[in-house]
Amino acid sequence: MKFDFTREHLMVRQAIKEFVDNEISPISADIDKTQRFPREIFEKLGKFGFCAIGFPKEYDGAEGDEISKTIVLEEIAKKSGSISAILSVHYLPVNLIFKFGTEAQRKKYLPKMVRGQWLGAFALTEPNAGSDASNVQTTAVLYEDEYILNGTKCFITNGGEADVYVILAMTDKSKGTRGMSAFLVEKDTPGFTIGKIEDKMGIRASSTAELILENVKIPKENLLGKIGEGFKIAMVGLDGGRIGISAQSLGIAEGAMEETIKYLKERAQFGKPLIKFQGLQWYLAEMEAKIDASRLLVYKVSYLKDSGKPFTKEAAVAKLFASETAMFVTHKAVQLHGGYGFMTDYPLERMMRDAKITEIYEGTSEVMKIVIASQIIK
């Protein structure tokens, strides 16, 4: 078993670190405070090739693998959970179009999406269909050469900002999850409107919105995959998305750890730096142990995906453990900063707020336990 990164992986890490230092770190606090969606950063991520990782050159991709994507999301999350979330969710529809799309769909959407010209979003969740995807109420009815979509989606990351959405809708309610299908809907389609923009605890620079579909007509060519494959497509998307959230969680925890060590070295009490106090060192040891374990889980599942092996259980394990680690580490980091950790002048309170959502979206911790259990007892 090898634990070394390749030369290409090291190059990706160095490149994204430089990008984060130059482009993201200077604005991370401000975009959180103002809740400004940093479209210019997404476009630059595309310009520098970070949106193109893992996709073939024939669609303007940059090749590469899942480990490289994980590296990118991890490094971004060290400084901005919001921007890491934006890119992680963007990868999800790009992956689905590449995997399930027709050649015409790939040629239409992928080049713009991997260049950062078009932003993607994934719309499954509804007011009564979160963890229970089978309860989706949005419908899609075929009439002549068009599908007509009606329904409401909620809590959609990149909602209101995305240019193209993968939307899950029921084409035959009598078949349950086997009656669900996936569709590609562009933002300017008549009848497709943005409802409430959510005011969130964390990842405040990412846009989370309600989507309203009222007699939205799309050509039948916008069906993604086959009729009735929607639930399968959604589960494939969520498996991959959980790798992204686990990478985000890891990065948030690592960023909080770095800030904490720096602070404890600089801050002195009772005549010596805080880093010299054994009790505080024990906190650091606990934090590092969880971070290190998370790192192994996150890169293990990335490796499994790259190898073409099943990874549903491993994605759930990595997401569960890394997200809980992010909360544990940021909570301790705030405590170790004392009063300063509670102030917005320091990034720890933002990191702690950003960490919380990782235990919720792409499947709550409770749902991850259900997924894990179902995989080990079948």
Q: Which residues are catalytic?
A: 362
Looking at residue 5, its amino acid is F
What SS3 state is found at 175?
Answer: helix
How far is C-alpha 157 from the chain's CA centre?
9
Reference 139, options 174, 189, 115, 111; nearest CA is 174
How far is C-alpha 135 from the chain's CA centre?
23
Instruction: Judge whether 307 and 349 are in contact, CB under 8 Å.
Output: no
Which burial class, exposed, middle or buried, applies to 36 when counting CB atoms under 10 A from its CB (0-12, 13-18, 19+)?
middle
Reference 162, options 228, 208, 125; nearest CA is 208
Instruction: Judge whether 115 and 57 are in contact, CB under 8 Å.
Output: no
Cα 331 to Cα 349: distance, rounded to the nearest angstrom: 9
